[in-house]
Amino acid sequence: MEPNAPILDVQDIDIFYGPQHAVDQVSFSISRGEIFGLLGPNGAGKTSTLSAIEGLLTPDSGTVRIAGHDIRENPAHAKANMGVQLQSTSFHADLTVREIIRLYAGLYGVPTPPGMVEGLLKEIQLEDARGKRYGQLSGGQQQRVSLVIATIHDPELLLLDEPTTGLDPQSRRQLWDRIERIRKSGRAVLLTTHSMEEAEAVCDRIAIIDHGKIIATDTPEGLIATHAQDPRVKAVSRGPRVTLEDVFIGLTGSELRG
């Protein structure tokens, strides 16, 4: 992999479900040390795009490369460079936190020398919960454990699918801080969220997808500046200044999606 090559490179992917063109020529890339947000309403093509990146479905055309590895031609190496935290990530409720970490470290072939597990738990402020069963943890604590599991093999790319859904403000801020530390360590992060506040606070760049197409890509500030005078955005703006949420709703529409 070339030093300046993107960690994730998605080029011109198309996905069809029968006659439905769910993903239409989607392209974007994420650099090392970048948090990239993929935002879209329900049914916009976001989940299908994520599934193609994860290797769960094969695009009808186009390419996905992770750390230089084509996920179609070299899926084992591509997936080995990716960690995934899903919104509904769950582990066996009766296993303790320590047992879960040791189990997944073993599955990834990661050594667990003495003190390693305790060090990870201290890093996520769960050292006092090492003997607790997963089912006894709060939602925020469970998310911290699942984030450790997603990064335990030190992947180049971390995919976070709505990681803070249902968390209280304190737990959400803690997770934001953790994601920022991951970025500073040099990993690339792909984040999906329905929270415009989260996207604006965490993401370096954002792509908005709707009806299967990427309709805008920029920094949060750049998106606001570019579209602040768009009549569609001005029509939905409710405050003294245009927000990222105003831009999102203005560009994708205010009708409810399923």
8 A C-beta contact, residue 38 and residue 46: yes
Interatomic CA distance for residues 56 and 257, integer angstroms: 24
Percent of the chain with pLDDT over 70: 97
Tokens of 65: 């490369």
Whether residue 10 has pLDDT greater than 80 = yes
Interatomic CA distance for residues 136 and 204, integer angstroms: 35
Per residue in 180-194, pLDDT (tens digit) is 988 999 999 999 999
99 phi and psi, to 5 degrees?
Answer: -65, -40
Q: Give the bridge partners for 206, in sequence order.
A: 37, 218
Per residue in 136-194, pLDDT (tens digit) is 988 888 888 888 899 999 999 999 998 888 788 888 888 888 889 889 999 999 999 99
User: How high does pLDDT run on average in the chain?
Assistant: 91
Strands 82-85 and 157-161: parallel
Q: Give the bridge partners for 214, in sequence order.
A: 209
Structure-model confidence comparison of residues 164 and 100, the more confident one: 100
First-to-last C-alpha distance (Å) of the chain: 41
Interatomic CA distance for residues 237 and 243, integer angstroms: 8
Strand boundaries in the chain, DSSP class E: 8-17, 20-30, 35-39, 61-66, 69-70, 82-85, 157-161, 188-192, 205-210, 213-218
